[in-house]
Structure 1
Amino acid sequence: MENRKMRSRRSWRWVVAVGVALHAVYMLSIFDIYFKTPILRGGMPLVHPKGTLSSHPPAKRLVLLVADGLRADKFFQFQAPPASNSFLRHVIRRHGRWGVSHARPPTESRPGHVSIIAGFYEDPSAVTKGWKSNPVEFDSVFNRSRHTISFGSPDIVPIFCSSLPPGRATWASYPPHFQDFATDASFLDHWSLDQFKSLLNASLSDPHTNRLLHQDQLVVFLHLLGCDTNGHAHRPYSPIYLNNVKVVDSIARDLYHLMESYFNDSSTAYIFTADHGMSDKGSHGDGHPSNTDTPLVAWGAGINFPTYLTFSQQSQHHANANAFRFVDHHMHGPTPQEWDLHDIQRLDVNQADIAPLMATLLGLPCPVNSVGSLPKEYLNLNKEQEAEAVLANTKQILNQFLRKSQLKQQSSLYFKPFKPLENYQSILQEIEDSILARNFGTAIRLSETLRELALSGFHYFQTYDWHMLMTVITLGYLGWMINLIIHVVESYTSFPMNLITKKSGVPGSSKAVYFGGCLLAAFLSFLLFLEKSPPLYHAYFLMTTFLWTQIMRNFQFLKALCGELTKKSLMSHFKLLVTSCVAIFVLEFLVMSFTDRKLYTWCFLFVGLLGPVLLLYFIPGNYFLAVFVWLASWFLSGFTLMPAEIPEKNNLVVLSGALIVAIALATRWIDINKRSDKFWVYLSEDTKKGSTSRMLFFVQISLVALSSAMVWISTSHRAEKRQLLPLHQLINWSLAGTSIVLPLFSQSSVLSRLTSIFLGFAPPFLLLSIGYEAVFYGAFALVLTGWILVESAFNYSKEKGSSSRLGTLVGDTDERYLELSDLRIPLIFMVLFNVAFFGTGNFASIASFEISSVYRFITIFSPFLMSALLIFKLFIPFILVICAFSAITKIIRVPRIGLYFIVILFSDVMTIHFFFLVRNTGSWMEIGNSISHFGIMSAQVVFVLMLFAITNVYTKDIQIATRHFSNKAL
């Protein structure tokens, strides 16, 4: 047995390392399978359109106004009467075109601006640089223009202007500390306009600036950040946000009059839009329509005038639900009545369609990697110009398809072409002939058909390796799970030792298996090298080959294990079958909970009813524990009925501090006044608490009370003065930092240490809370306490009733082997771990992060520090779960790492399920959520391991109290 335990200690670190590497590599496969970057690295397009129009372009210059974080419905509702003095409403009804621009997730500022200005959807690798710098340089409308003038945020303007050649851009951005969430940020929008006004004034005395302004193909870009900052700080339905909409409207008006009076040539085109919207809770990032739907208003040179609809046309427009065209995965419904725009034709676009629109207005070639389709209905062109523009847009997209096809054909050993475009040259020739014959309608129709085929072909090559990668990744996960089962059975169960000796099989067979695995890996790598596959492809194949080689090495052991299982009794087989069915049911329940968090409400209502009955059946007379489980389960069940958009209720946060103190006092009372003949025999110490322990407890209680007070003081002052005092900031940081260190100095008994951990993480959680999630912290701790008490009670009953366990209850420090019934521990852990995910929101959604939670620590925009605080807040409930898990493994004396591996095994069952649920069609909300679900489960092995390492600092010295049973007690 000792040799077996020594092997286990040596091998578990190796298993963890393999698991971390596997999940890290396989998690990246989702982008190779579904979402490859559209940027073509290396090589030139095969067709080179010189420009969108051969004749004089309709506009000499273009003004692009991007109101960051402006959602479509709030904009158009604000523009509706009685706001009759709205400038942009006047434009919509008299001078231009309008619609909704549909963004793609991630609905963040950089990806949104990339799609507007460059015409493609962000390279996923940009996330590694915080979406601030360019991981891969790309073409854009700004690159194509003669000169670009830009003013705005330091997070956006430098991305597009800093890399332009000298003399090709005039730009400036305000200091980062201007982005203060404690102020009304509309002054940032005025700053951008004032900078442009200053430039125009300077041009009156500076000939060089004057020449720059009067050249053609000029782009003026003003980035207006006010709506985004005010939306985060005050919500998009707040008076401050709605007033910022008015400010944006006035800036559009002032800029228009400024440009028209300065140039006075009616040759300026204007585009007003937003990069993304804003959810009701003041966040963005996912595919919810409140984040993806943004306004689009265009007017000026080259833009069509509005089309008014008759009553019958309005009915037809609403019946078709799309008078313009399909817009990616959206079909917009009837224009809401509150917008008061149902009588004007609405033309929706994809966000990437704005780039070819701007390029056409200026007579520029479309950006090389643009996937946008020219919305010709916005343009005021004659039929010949329209045909030329659509053809140029089609050729530009066809370029990318041809380049992708060429690269894949050069590298593939067996190339499968995109059959619908094998005769693309004949289609191009037919379009050219139609233009020469002045049959422009036919030319436009054929060009649009060819463009849609090119986009389909482009997508075909982006997912060209789909089936191969899906097969390899699935085999990899299955191989990992089988290896994990082998390791757990070998190291942590009581199967006979003779099975262990059979794992090596015939002497020398391991070397032969490894040699065969190396040959297979070398052969597969050679094939991938010939196909010029990305490095990650090699990693996928090598990892899968390695895992299945390990399985073949253990083939004899698996065969002997199956034989041993067949020798078991019918009752043992029945128990195994029932346990497996229960495990699968729980895992499928958890999968469904990712899309409907209310399932946890029914779960805990059911536990509250059935749990006490089972408890009293197995441990008669334990009425206190039965009532406690019932109340705690029902208390927690209500939180998943709460809205994911947490409403601000700071009084509730303050009252939660009192709840936390009450829970701590109750556990302290139990710890001191325990009874040695009850189940908390494991949880308390023999000796009375010393003065140091009492002092630490009251210090922690005081910190919780002080944190509650600071929640009220900081929030009230910021609401009145719209600023965060440095003194408040210092106190809050000090409270949070001090409190999480104090549990390290608490007593080592189970109740003392867990109570101290609960109190230690309460101050930062309260300071980072804005509503009911603070109450969730206390309710969740009660359920975890109930779990610990139930496991202690069962273990006490088992030990008390076992005649073989006379004497010391846990004086023997050896861990026992895992049993089939121990699977309940990882299953309950996974349920509670997911409740920590979804108890106060939808963790799978990027937009669920409540940025206002950090305002008691920092209000100046700092994305990495704010993200770190948000993630730390989300980690706290997980830390409580793992601390409880660690305590239970010590109480029932099972190897914690063995149960951890079972947790990972169960997680991977869910991971494979989510892997096949990932989709790249449907609404962007569905696409984004499917990726998030897979990413969460795939990362859980690393995530849980990291949290185990963190919590081990707090739980490694927990001691189970030593107790002796008398024969009478037994």
Structure 2
Amino acid sequence: MVGAGILVGGGRRSLDRRRMQQQIWRRERWLVALGIALHAVYMLSIFDIYFKTPIVHGMDPVPQRFTAPAKRLVLFVADGLRADKFFEPDSEGRFRAPFLRSVILEKGRWGVSHARPPTESRPGHVAIIAGFYEDPSAVTKGWKANPVEFDSVFNRSRHTFAFGSPDIIPIFCSGMPHSTWGSYPHELENFASDASFLDQWSFDQFHSLLNRSYDDPKLRELIMQDNLVIFLHLLGCDTNGHAHRPFSSIYLNNVKVVDQIAENVYNLVESYFKDKKTAYIFTADHGMSDKGSHGDGHPTNTDTPLVAWGAGVMSPKGRHSYQPDFGVHFVDDHKHDMPTPKEWGLDNIERVDVNQADIAPLMATLVGLPCPVNSVGNLPLAYLQLNKAEEVEAALANTKQILNQFLRKSQIKKLNSLRFKPFKPLTNYSFILSQIEDFISARDYEAAMKSSKNLRTLSLSGIHYFQTYDWFMLMSTVTLGYVGWMINLLLHVLQSYTILSTNSFMKKNQVVPHGSMKKKVYIAGCLLMGLISFILLVENSPLLYHAYVLMCVFLWTRIFSDIHLLKVIWGLLRNRHFKANLNLLAISAVAFFILEVLVCSFFERKLYTWCFLVVGAVAAVLMSSFVPQRPLIAAFVWACCWFLSLFTLMPAEIPDNTNLVIVSGAFVILVALTSIWFIVSGENDNFRQLITQLERDKSKFPLLLFIQILLVGLSSLMVWLSTSHRAEEKELHVVHQIVNWFTAGISIILPLFSKPALLSRLTSIFLGFAPPFLLLSIGYEAIFYSAFALVLMGWILVECATLYFTEIKVTPVIVNLEDNLISSHGEGSLNLSHIRIPLTFMVLFNVAFFGTGNFASIASFEISSVYRFITIFSPFLMAALLIFKLFIPFMLVICVFSALTKLLHLPLLGCYFLVILFSDVMTVHFFFLVRNTGSWMEIGNSISHFGIMSAQVVFILLLFALTNIYTKDIEVSSLHSLSRKKI
């Protein structure tokens, strides 16, 4: 009977445990889904807070009140052409763009056009042609489809002829009836060849158009109209910059090609029309970084050339000695203070810098078109050859067009706000306008110009005011939402993975949920949600506003519904010894300090060098203390950390070094052989058994690992063959491409068939991802892969030494349950000391990104990394390969992290939630660092940092799911179990 009672009691406890686990799993599924939704929604909040779309409808264009100086406009956009490579001479002292340089010296005006992040082709062209900075929602459509309709110079023209890239031309012309356009197929964009022929294609199409017009009266009549725009998109520099870098002879020769095309078009147009009524604009949408990428706010990406000449454009002017060579300082605090380099040889010619959006009103004024209604560009009068009266009229038209945007935004906000707060500096705008008209009538042009510029500046400030009208409300809501999410996460970890999760503790502390109280809290939360939703509906707020607020209210409702748990936690804190609370506070402070160091590392990656120098020494000391009989292991850990510390001192622009990639393959094999030797040989002692998780008499040289080593050798050989052949033939050999794909594909599958023992499986994973990483590497990042793996091995050794010390040298009871809020309570529980695991993971996860020279920006990828797999332009496949390469070190970290949680008998999801909690502490910090003023580089980086940390939650979750395929069957045993098996 007693035995039966014990069995019944044991069965009930087992049933209760299973029910509790099922409840936890249900909560975790909802929590993970909630976390993904929250980070996706709140990541978009940045655009609503700081960068709301400038597009509004319902405004009338402002026509010019003077005769246009030009009948037609020719716009050249050399995609990816950076300013310094255009203006500077070559090694022999000859300038690469002789025709355009002669224009600067003799016929027109010049300057640097400053693009704004993201420095990509679509937003750059939108800024040039439409005069505003891209709607952030276009990110979700790959910069290709129009997320919203917008006005442009092309729209306002009588007819537009456009030829160029299939990624750009259709954006502006596909839905425009008064346009004639053409684009080449994507297949011509081959990164393995010289892409300057793409520029020649655009010229040939235009040349053919003019030739056909001699035999086609209708076409000739169309071409001879006023208000005509001709657009030639020249993609060669962008493609060659990605493929060969902007220092290559192919890229620099492409600068000569676009100069020659500009000269040919100029001669062709002047001989065709013969009326001297054509204006010409030459510029670029973005530049190109030294590593062959673009996207961020670095000056090599934002600084592009601008040359204007022809009808209506002022002739060159000498720069007086007293004039500061700082270009022009425009609105929104983006100062362009780069002095003209001496080697450009243009010190004596006046330089006029512009913001990229300023080019649209310049083109519209030259050809007599209304400025695009959503343009925020300032008309650069220094480029125009106009008399005083015309200058004032042009400036006033630009001012009225920007003022109309302000008035429309003010009207929309007033109609939809319960409590409207107007922009006070412009309450008397009508009086200012009438005053300007009076000045013009009295021919007081200086006063009229001054008043017009002041009104335009105020209008731009007013537009910014209404774009950030809801700033305080949104900042407060999102911040409270993040805090609510983190508290929910912490409560879940405490309730599911610590002493608070046990039935005995719940009964002892009478932690019994009050159903009636929960209902009341949820009813109150629903009423609050309904009230806020009603207010937002009345104000016609965007749907995302509802999502921000409702998510915040929901999270805090969940917190207050668990008020009983909060009371228990508070009671535990009050009843604990002062020393225990001090210990908790100290560990929290250390964790916060580490997270702040990680935040700082986004701005200064060299911090990781100091970090690993210190960590290496500390880890070696710990190893010497825990396992004094193995000094070589302590020295190994120290050496690995110090070796890895070198990589964050290396340049972010990874230089090409194929030989280094090939040598790194041998290094990978050496690391793997060392691991295999550790598995199959050596003394059969307890510490080695703990690391390998293998029984000595069953160990043998694994055949699968030998096959993987051969694949690593094959990938090194293919790196040499593919690169050598492409350098000679300028194309990727089909056989090489097939072998590369096969090697990479089969190698990442093989780890699934390796032994499930801890070190064997991790070594197989390391070897499995080495071939694709080597094939996607171009320089020192290939060595980083092995160095990083060695540090991960060092992490395993330190944790095994800690476990060995606590299980054998001390006592199985690690933590006093009464002295810790987060206490160990059997298998699957967490204690304060376990916080080191997710914190170490956070450090290594960030090192996996920064260690290969990647800055936290959207331009952190080397597109040349994919040329051993594909060279024909395919943005989605190329992006997938780049992201896969970036994820490989992340996957190594997560595999080791998952294996350690098994070895230490810790709940993987509990540790994952702590990782997310720490990530969100950093996310909130970056949320407050986002800015929309200052240099464009600072703006771009601040957005990138916040976006990376917000996306990290989803990335880590996806990587956990992926790496779980490799680590789910890893078998681990305690040291005592291994000893018993051995006996």
TM over 0.5: yes
**Quick check: 1:69 aligned with 2:80?**
yes
Q: What amino acid sits opposite 2:350 in the alignment?
A: Q
Over residues 872-918 of structure 1, what are the superposed CA-to-partner deviations in whole Å (9 max), with x where a residue is unaligned? 00000000000000000011101011011111111111111111111
Q: Does 1:430 align with 2:441?
A: no
Q: Which of 57, 69, 94 lines up with 1:58 in the alignment?
A: 69
Give the distance between the partners of 2:267 and 2:812, measured in 1 at CA.
Answer: 93
Verify the 8 A CA contact 1:671 1:684 in the aligned structure 2. no
1:719 paired with 2:727, answer: yes
What is the aligned partner in structure 1 of residue 321 from structure 2?
Answer: 314
CA contact (8 A) 1:148 1:170 kept: yes
Moved more, 101-110 or 502-511: 502-511
The separation in 2 between residues aligned to 1:661 and 1:84, in whole angstroms, is: 47
Deviation (angstroms), 1:68: 0.4
Contact 1:78 1:242 in 2 (8 A): no
Secondary structure at the residue paired with 2:403?
A: helix
Question: By how many angstroms is 1:843 displaced?
Answer: 4.0
The reply on whether 1:667 has 2:675 as its aligned counterpart is yes
Bigger CA drift: 118-127 or 78-87? 78-87
Matched residue count: 951
- Cα shift at 1:328: 4.8
The offset of 1:678, in angstroms, is 3.3
Report deviation, 1:618.
3.5
Q: How does 1:317-396 map onto structure 2 within 5 Å?
A: 317-318=324-325, 321-322=326-327, 328-396=333-401
1:478 equivalent in alignment to 2:490: no
Q: Which 10-residue stretch deviates more, 440-449 or 69-78?
A: 440-449
SS of structure 2 residue aligned to 1:101: strand
Structure 1 counterpart of 2:742 = 734
Give the 3 Å change call, closer, same or farther, for CA 106–689 of structure 1 in structure 2.
farther
Contact 1:117/1:142, CA 8 A, preserved across alignment:
yes
Partner residue, 1:563: 571
Report the Cα offset of residue 837 of structure 1. 1.3
Matches within 5 A, 1:594-743: 594-673=602-681, 675-682=683-690, 683-686=692-695, 694-743=702-751
Query: Equivalences for 1:445-456 in 2 at 5 Å?
Result: 445-456=450-461
Q: Is the 8 A contact 2:399 2:453 kept in 1?
A: yes
Mean Cα deviation higher: 560-569 or 238-247 = 560-569
The aligned counterpart of 1:810 is: none
> Match of 2:54, as an amino acid?
P
Deviations 1:711-740 (A, max 9, x none): 011001111111001111111111111111
Contact kept, 8 Å, 1:703 with 1:739, in 2: the verdict is yes
How large is the RMSD of aligned CA atoms in angstroms?
2.0
1:621 counterpart letter in structure 2: Q
Which residue, out of 287, 290, 296, partners 2:300?
A: 290
Deviation at 1:804, TM superposition (A): 5.4
- Tell me what 1:539 maps to: 547
Change (3 A) 1:968 1:460: closer
Is the contact between residue 327 and residue 348 of structure 1 (CA under 8 Å) also seen in structure 2? no
Structure 2 CA distance, aligned partners of 1:551 and 1:398?
47
Deviation at 1:282, TM superposition (A): 0.7
Q: Output the CA distance in 1 between the equivalents of 2:124 and 2:579.
A: 61
For residues 154 and 197 of structure 1, the distance between their equivalents in structure 2, rounded to whole angstroms, comes to 19
Contact kept? 1:61, 1:217, Cα under 8 Å:
yes
Q: Is residue 153–residue 225 contact of structure 1 (8 Å, CA) maintained in 2?
A: yes
Q: Deviations over 1:682-719 (max 9, x none)?
A: 3232266688x733111111110000000011001111
Distance (Å, rounded) in 2 between the aligned partners of 1:222 and 1:669: 63
**CA displacement at 1:969 relative to structure 2:** 12
Question: Cα–Cα, structure 1 residues 947 and 674, in superposed 2: closer, same or farther, change >3 Å?
Answer: farther
The gaps in structure 2 that reach 5 residues or longer are: 1-12, 815-824
What amino acid sits opposite 1:456 in the alignment?
Answer: S
Note if contact 2:282-2:308 (Cα within 8 Å) is conserved in structure 1. Answer: yes
Query: Is 1:170 paired with 2:174?
Result: no
1:826, distance to aligned residue in structure 2 (A): 0.5
How far is 1:100 from its partner? Answer: 0.4
Q: 1:17 aligns with which of 21, 25, 33?
A: 33
Instruction: Give distance in 2, aligned partners of 1:744 and 1:574.
Output: 46
Q: 1:800, 1:969 within 8 Å by CA — same for their partners in 2?
A: no
1:29-428 correspondence runs (5 A): 29-40=45-56, 42=57, 44-45=58-59, 48-52=60-64, 54-78=65-89, 82-83=94-95, 86-165=98-177, 168-309=178-319, 313-318=320-325, 321-322=326-327, 328-428=333-433
**Structure 1 residue 10: Cα displacement:** 2.9
Distance in 1 between the 2:109 and 2:167 partners? 30
1:363-394 CA distance string (max 9 Å, x none): 11011111111111110111111111111111
TM-fit CA distance, 1:500: 4.2
**Aligned in 2, Cα 1:503/1:105: closer, same or farther, shift over 3 Å?**
farther
Distance 1:323 1:172, change over 3 A: closer
Shift of 1:316: 2.8
Contact residue 679 and residue 789 of structure 1 kept, 8 A: no
Deviation of the 1:459 alpha carbon: 0.5
Given that 2:293 and 2:862 are in contact with CA atoms closer than 8 Å, whether structure 1 keeps it comes out as yes
| 2: CA distance, partners of 1:213 / 1:948 | 60
Identity %: 64
Identify the range of structure 1 (430-439 vs 71-80) with the bigger mean alpha-carbon deviation. 71-80
* 1:473 match: secondary structure: helix
What CA distance in whole angstroms lies between the structure 2 residues aligned with 1:419 and 1:519? 36
Per-residue deviation, 1:968: 15
Shift of 1:4: 3.9
The 1:901–1:348 alpha-carbon spacing in structure 2 relative to 1, beyond 3 Å, is same
Q: CA deviation at 1:9?
A: 2.7
Matched, 1:750 2:758: yes
Aligned residue for 1:316, secondary structure, equals: coil
**Residue 829 of structure 1 is aligned with which of 819, 841, 849?**
841
The residue identity in structure 1 corresponding to 2:647 is F
Partners of 1:539 and 1:833 lie apart in 2 by 30
Question: d(CA) in 1 for partners of 2:813 and 2:462?
Answer: 71
Contact kept in structure 2, 1:504 and 1:554, CA below 8 Å: no
**Does the CA contact (< 8 Å) of 1:648 and 1:770 recur in 2?**
yes
| Aligned mates of 2:232, 2:977 — CA distance in 1 | 77
Counterpart among 573, 580, 600 of residue 581 in structure 2: 573
User: More deviation in 678-687 or 849-858?
Assistant: 678-687
Unaligned runs of 5+ in 1: 807-812
Q: Deviations over 1:420-446 (max 9, x none)?
A: 111100001111111122222221111
Task: Output the CA distance in 1 between the equivalents of 2:466 and 2:716.
Answer: 56
> AA paired with 1:686?
E
Instruction: Return the alpha-carbon distance in structure 2 between the equivalents of residues 64 and 839 of structure 1.
Output: 42
Residue-by-residue CA offset, 1:653-687 (whole Å, 9 max, x unaligned): 00000010111111111112254433232323226
Q: 1:472 to 1:204 in 2, by over 3 A?
A: same
The aligned amino acid for 2:300 is S
Residues in 1 aligned to 2:899 and 2:97: alpha-carbon distance in whole angstroms? 66
- The one-letter code of the counterpart of 1:685 is L
Q: How big is the shift at 1:20? A: 1.2
Letter in 1 for 2:847: V
Query: Normalising by the residue count of structure 2, what TM-score does the alignment of the two structures yield?
Result: 0.94
Equivalent position amino acid for 2:233 in 1: H
The structure-2 alpha-carbon separation of the partners of 1:755 and 1:688, relative to structure 1 and needing over 3 Å to count, comes to farther
Q: Aligned partners of 2:272, 2:280: CA distance in 1, in Å?
A: 15
Task: Say which SS state the counterpart of residue 321 (structure 2) adopts.
Answer: helix
Q: Secondary structure at the match of 1:65?
A: strand
Secondary structure of 1:651's aligned partner: helix
Query: 1:859-874 residue pairs with structure 2 within 5 A?
Result: 859-874=871-886
